Every structure is written in structure tokens, then in C-alpha cells.
Structure 1
Amino acid sequence: MASQASSQLHFVLFPFLIQGHIIPMIDIARLLAKQGAFVTIVTTPKNAARFQNVIERGIQSGLPIQVIEFRFPCQEVGLPEGCENWDMLPSITLVPKFFSAVEMLQLPLENLFREIQPKPSCLISDMLLPWTVSSASKFNVPRIVFHGFSGFCLSCLHSLSVSKVHESVSSDSEYF
């Protein structure tokens, strides 16, 4: 797949390691590939195994998709081995360690950007991966943020931001 024409768009997708973020990013990857873009999905081995069948069916049908796996640094941050997804955390107290491990994926992502062919045209990364902004910038690649909020939720958040009605609430139990 790396031999595709250099003029072909190449999207690198990097979802946060939680099913509710991975599943829609896989859907986005398939939609982009159906439009002729080359797509690289970046994840970890255990997460890749979870959606392997969906991606393999897409590839077999001719979609230009590849998956690149980064080793997840569980031991380095004190997580149990193989704890590569939010739902694999044995305790909510391990969330800070999980985020620390996720942040350690910045160097592998940047190494990928140096080596991957065709060169990425765009990075679509999760809102929970804010450090990808600087990584994309370093390689002069535009970054699009992904978040799973619905349109209705975004509309409500915007309305609150504009109206500031919540700022006049005097207690946690007051309706507004």
C-alpha cells in the first residue's frame, strides 16, 4: 500500500484507547478509504485485535487501509501487562497511569511520521490526545480533532457558552 501515488491523500487516525472512541474512528477510516484516501490506523496490539475482522473485510474488499501497532508501555507506568484499553483497567485508580502510558505514545507517533510512506496528509486524533497537536505541527501536518459528542450535545454546550445562563445559578439544586 505504501506504493500508492504520492498525490493520494493519506489520513492517519489515532483514536483514544476506549471502545466508544475506537469504533467511530474505524467507521471514519472506512468512509475515508471508500472515497479513495489511504488510511493508517494507529493503535496497540490488543486494540487492533478487537477490530481486526472489520478492517480485514475492508482490506479484502479493496479499501486502502493499514493498521500500525505501537507497543503500549504498561510496565513503565505500573499498569498490569496487557492493560491497553480503558475497559481493561482493573481499578479506576489506575486512570492516571493509563493516561501517562498513552502520553508515552508521542515518540512512536513522531517516529512513524518520519518514516511512513506516503507521507501523512492529515492526522485525525482523539480529543483526549492533546499532545498530538504539537506532533502534527512538528511535521507540518494538519490535525483534525475527533470527539464523540453528538450534534445535540454540542449544540447544548454552545448554547450554554453563549447564554452563560449557568453562571447565574446560585446552588447545585437550582434549575435553569
Structure 2
Amino acid sequence: MESKAIEKCKLKGYFLPYLAPSHYIPLFQFAKLFASRGVHVTFVSTPRNSLSFRDSLELLNNLGLHIEIDYVDFPSKEVGLPEDIENLSDATSLEMAGKIYKAAFLLQAPIEAKVRAAKPDFIFADMHCFWATDLAAELGIPRLIYHARAYFALCAVEAIDSIEKFTGENSFGLWQIKMKGLLKQQQIWRPLASKIFTAGSEDGLTDG
């Protein structure tokens, strides 16, 4: 039974997770946060992956949060997986993990159909649901993105292509680097830096 708070929901958001607990569990936490602010949340999930949070839905809805699951069938037969394998944590081999990756691509079409039919006000999708950007543009709605990486790591990746200054290696084997957009000079361990910098430059960036 839906509460009055649920009935007053105006914004509708569709949350699209990836097939790994480290991705869909944090995204569900975001879903709860949005629902606590009055958003009508629909969380897309396969049946098995929903076991991590499904039992909490009744309690959350009784508290006035509107969260529902829109189920999509996992393409087990199409990719050659047992019916109880639906996420990367269940994989016991690289071959099995590859099949789960393939399944994620096969889920794109049915999920897109669900979103188009629902006509939400926004999409909050995992970083691996790259196609959600075009889908949101097609529907004329915002698309939020969930990254499993920390915010600083994302800033560093963005800044690494526009390094302003390289000041050499210190006695600890750390390279001193000044990156645009980051206030403090950063240090990168030399073996890691050797993988990042593959070409020489005027600042002395070399392959190491």
C-alpha cells in the first residue's frame, strides 16, 4: 500500500546498474537517497541480482520512499551460462566472466525499451552503460553517471593528458607532477608512471 508521500512523487528516475555487486549495490544506495528526496525511483535489475536489496523494498516504501524494481531477464541461454549466474562475482573463470560481459551488451535493447516506455525525467546509469548517454539525449532528459572510481582518481585521469610540469624523481622513486586542475603537486610511483608516459616531451617525460 503506497503512502501519501509516494502518491505526491513528481520526478521519475530510472536507475541502470551494471552486473557486479560493487556497481549495483552502491547505485541502489544512490537510489534510496533520491527516493528520500521524493523521487519516484525505478531500479532495473535481473532477478538474481535483486536479491541483494529486494527484501528491503517493503520497509523503504512503508517509510515513504517510492522504489520499485523493473525486472529484465538475464540472457543465460543466449550466452551459455547456468541460470544462477548473473553477475561478475559469480564467475569462476575468465571464460565465464566474458559471457557475463556479453550478456550486459544483450541487455541493452530490452532495457532501452523499458526506459522509452516509462518516459522518466532522468536516467542514472552505471559507467559501463555507455549507451545510456545517447538514450537520454534521444529522450531529451538528463543522464547521471555512476563511477566505481573515487572522485580524485577521475580528476587525475582527466588531468593526466594536460600535465603542466614534471619536476623529476625524488629519492623514494616518486615522480613529482603538477597536474592542471589539482591544487597540490602530486606524486606518482615510477613503475606506474612508466606505463602512463610512453613518449618524450620538453618537460622530460619519458618511458623510463
> TM-score interval w.r.t. the shorter chain?
0.7 to 0.9
Q: Quick check: which one's helix share is greater? A: 1
Is residue 12–residue 124 contact of structure 1 (8 Å, CA) maintained in 2? yes
Matched residue count: 167
Is 1:161 aligned to residue 167 of structure 2? no
In structure 2, list runs of 5 or more residues that go unmatched.
167-195, 198-204
Matched residues in 2 for 1:82 and 1:58: separation?
Answer: 27
Matched residues in 2 for 1:104 and 1:91: separation?
Answer: 20
How far off is 1:147 after superposition?
0.7
Instruction: Look up the match of 1:58.
Output: 60
Instruction: Look up the match of 2:150.
Output: 150
Instruction: Tell me which of the two structures has the higher relative contact order, counting C-alpha pairs closer than 8 angstroms and 6 or more residues apart.
Output: 1
How far off is 1:47 after superposition?
0.7
Instruction: Look up the match of 1:67.
Output: 69
Query: Identity of counterpart residues, as a percentage?
Result: 30
In structure 1, list runs of 5 or more residues that go unmatched.
172-176
Matched residues in 1 for 2:162 and 2:19: separation?
Answer: 32
Is residue 113–residue 139 contact of structure 1 (8 Å, CA) maintained in 2? no
How far off is 1:126 after superposition?
0.7
Is residue 8–residue 37 contact of structure 1 (8 Å, CA) maintained in 2? yes
Matched residues in 2 for 1:151 and 1:144: separation?
Answer: 15
Matched residues in 1 for 2:106 and 2:137: separation?
Answer: 18
Instruction: Look up the match of 2:112.
Output: 110
User: Equivalent of 2:19, from 2, 17, 20?
Assistant: 17
Matched residues in 2 for 1:91 and 1:29: separation?
Answer: 31
Instruction: Look up the match of 2:169.
Output: none
Moved over 6 A (4+): none
CA RMSD of aligned residues (A): 2.1
How far off is 1:10 after superposition?
0.8
| One-letter amino acid of the structure 2 residue matched with residue 109 of structure 1 | I
